[in-house]
Structures are given as C-alpha cells and as structure tokens.
Amino acid sequence: MFCVSREQAARSDAAASALLGLVHDPEPKVRASVAQAFGRRFTPDRQLEPAVRDALLVLMRDDTLWVRRRAAESLSGYDDRSAPVLDAFLTLLDEEDKDLRLEAAWALARRDHPRTEEAYERVGPLDAFSEHDHRTSGLWRYRASNRSDQA
C-alpha cells in the first residue's frame, strides 16, 4: 500500500486503479489504507473523480468503524456537494461514534449546509481534548459566514 499511497507522490492511473480494486479487500487495514490514500492531501491538484467518490462512499458504509472514519476524513477534505455525498454525511450523524459525528458535522459546515447547527448538536458536548481539534471550529465558521451573508 505504501508504494501507491505515498504523500506528495504522483499517482498513476494504474496505481489509482489498483487502489479502487482494493475497496472490497477482506482485510480492514487494507480498506482503511485505501480510504486514507484517496484523501485530498494525496491529490492536492486534482478534483474528486467519480470513481474515487463512489469508492469513498462505499467505505463510509463499511462494517469496520475505523474504515468508516478514514473514508469520512478523506471525503470531507473535498468540496464535493453532490446529493450522495451530503446524504452520506447526514447518515453519519446517526453513528454511535462521536468522532464520526464530528467529522460529518465538520464536512457539512465546510459545505455551508443548512443542517450544520443540528449536526453539531448531534455530536454532543466537546471535551477538553477536542478543543484542539480543527473540526470544532466548523460551527463557529458556519455561523460567522451566515451572519456576514445576512448583513
């Protein structure tokens, strides 16, 4: 996995195709690595390709929690505002895992989604550790952006 997912390395079509082929690998570590490899930080100058979006959406429904986390983290870094992506993040708000709910809330805030405030309410209280988490600022930025739009 390392050779096809190294940060800052250009990824060939063959490597991307190989990663797509591993979306359904039986090993959760492999699926989590695939989800992480498709993160925006590995493709800073490219738009989200439909095949990658679809792969991340599949991985966001994975049975393994940390595979879902990696997929949500990767997809939230893109600006894709398509209905399937928004629906996937809204669905994550029902997860028991607080981290997944926070990732979904942050992704919705980044997209200026009207359900952002509700999403952060569903995250629940943020503890002292999360004060250093970049995702907690999403609600504040969403509110600031909407106040300036109304002025």
Note the pTM of the prediction, 2 decimals.
Answer: 0.84
Task: Name the residue ranges covered by the structural domains of the chain.
Answer: 1-79, 81-151
- CATH top class, domain 1-79: mainly alpha
Four-residue CA torsion sign, 67, 68, 69, 71: positive
Angle between helices 65-76 and 83-92 (to 10 degrees): 130
Q: How many CB atoms lie within 10 A of CB 15?
A: 16
**Each residue's pLDDT tens digit in the chain (151 positions)?**
544 444 444 567 888 899 999 999 999 999 999 999 998 654 455 578 899 999 999 999 999 999 999 999 999 989 899 999 999 999 999 999 999 999 999 999 999 999 999 999 999 887 765 667 878 877 778 878 887 666 5
**Cβ atoms 72, 104 nearer than 8 A:** yes
